[in-house]
Amino acid sequence: MGLDGIELLMAVEEEFKIAISYEEAAHCVTVGKLVALVHSRLQQSREEPCASQHGFYVIRDQLMRVLGLTRAQIKPETRLNDLIGRKDRRKRWRELIQSIMDKDPMLPALVRPKWLTIALLLLMAATCLGLVVFTWVPFVFAFLAAVAVGLIGNVLTVPFKRELPTEFNQVKDLIKFVTTLDSRIWSKEEVFQKVRSITVEQLGVNESHVTLEAHFVNDLGVG
């Protein structure tokens, strides 16, 4: 399929929250075959062994779309830090998570580098110890001063929060964000109606031309 066909498939994936591989797409030469594929995918339970594989396909497709990556670059064990560059990382991280979920997410915040966190803790400890040892300030006041130093340091180092949380080290760690398949039971007719609507919107064809037998290339003009 050409670009318009790819955009159609992406719209179908987004609508039904499923992933369609290139191999599967190649066999969907008619509207009916695409409907059959979508309908069968919607019947899958989250408890089935393929659930994690389904999640990976969704994550991979969104990484390709949002970050402009290729399939070969993305494996379940690929480090996210290697895929999401530091430039505009905060923006790209938000766009990626939002593209995976169907609602505005509680975004896992980027964190400071470990060395900077350790440095802040050492500075707080040195402040407290220094005040107690060298100025004879009561411990409680020295402790409060150390806390103040920590709060100020916390604010000043916000721009350095560019590291991904440790629990999101690899691509497979994002699978937890993939929303479940639609819990209601879809009939083939309902799937067809939705696919027809998406096809009309994406290809700009007349609705009456979108039948189950319609060929995407020969009848609907997909390049």
pLDDT in tens, the chain (223 residues): 567 888 898 889 878 877 788 888 889 999 999 999 998 887 764 445 455 676 787 788 888 888 888 888 888 899 998 898 888 888 888 888 877 775 555 667 788 888 999 999 999 999 999 998 888 889 999 999 999 999 999 999 988 888 888 888 899 888 877 754 455 677 889 999 999 999 999 889 999 999 999 999 999 888 6
Amino acid at 215: H
What is the spatial distance between Cα 162 and Cα 9, in angstroms, rounded to a whole number?
33
The neighbouring-strand residues paired with 215 are: 30
Residue 72: the pLDDT is 84
How far is C-alpha 206 from the chain's CA centre?
34
DSSP three-state, residue 30: strand
Determine which helix (DSSP H) or strand (DSSP E) holds 99, and give its type and residue range. Answer: helix 89-100
How far is C-alpha 199 from the chain's CA centre?
25
Residue 122, classified by CB atoms within 10 Å of its CB into exposed (0-12), middle (13-18) or buried (19+), is exposed
What is the spatial distance between Cα 36 and Cα 58, in angstroms, rounded to a whole number?
19
Tokens representing residue 195 in the block? 């696919």
What sign for the dihedral angle of Cα 36, 40, 41, 43? positive
CA nearest 204: which of 6, 50, 60, 8? 8
Helix axis angle for 3-16 and 31-42, nearest 10°, is: 30
Give Rg (Cα) of the chain.
25
Torsion of CA 170, 172, 177, 179, to 10 degrees: 160
Residue 108: the pLDDT is 76
Residue 47: the pLDDT is 45
86-91: Cβ within 8 A, 24+ apart: 86/162, 89/162, 90/161, 90/162
Residue 45: the pLDDT is 42
